[in-house]
Structures are given as C-alpha cells and as structure tokens.
Amino acid sequence: MKAIVEDTCTGCGVCVDTCPEVFELGDSDIAIVIADPVPADSEDACRDAADQCPCEAIVIQD
C-alpha cells in the first residue's frame, strides 16, 4: 500500500497525529510521506488518517 499527499494539504497535522509512522510535517508545513510503502501494521492508521483529512488530500493506492 502506498500513500500520497496532494498539494491541497493545508498542514493541519491531523494525519501526523493519527499515523506518525507514515506522515510528518515537512519544511513547507505540508505533510510528507516518510514510509513508502506503508508498513503492514500501519495500514489501518494510514486509512484512518486519509478518512480524517479535512482536505481529502491523502490518496491511498492499494
């Protein structure tokens, strides 16, 4: 599984709080993906982060 953050990200930090194994706030204060592919034991949290993103900026590719 792969996670992508699109440029609609506002840097709110929800995904970082929900799934810190995969998301981090980068230098430009937008989220970046730090685990590619997503580790199997982080997949559920990663999907939760995508569901909770207020900007629908996280795309999951299975």
**Under 8 Å between Cβ of 36 and 3:** yes
Number of residues that bind ligand SF4 (CB under 6 A): 15
Which one of residues 15, 19, 22, 38 is an interface residue with ligand SF4 (CB under 6 A)? 15
Closest approach of Cβ 10 to ligand SF4, in Å? Answer: 5
Helix, strand, coil fractions of the chain, as percent rounded to 5:
30, 25, 50
- Distance, in Å, from the CA atom of 56 to the CA atom of 50, rounded to the nearest integer, reads 7
If the CB atoms of residues 39 and 56 are measured against ligand SF4, the closer one turns out to be 56
> What binding mask, one character per residue, do residues 16-35 give for ligand SF4 by CB under 6 A, x or -?
-------x-------x----
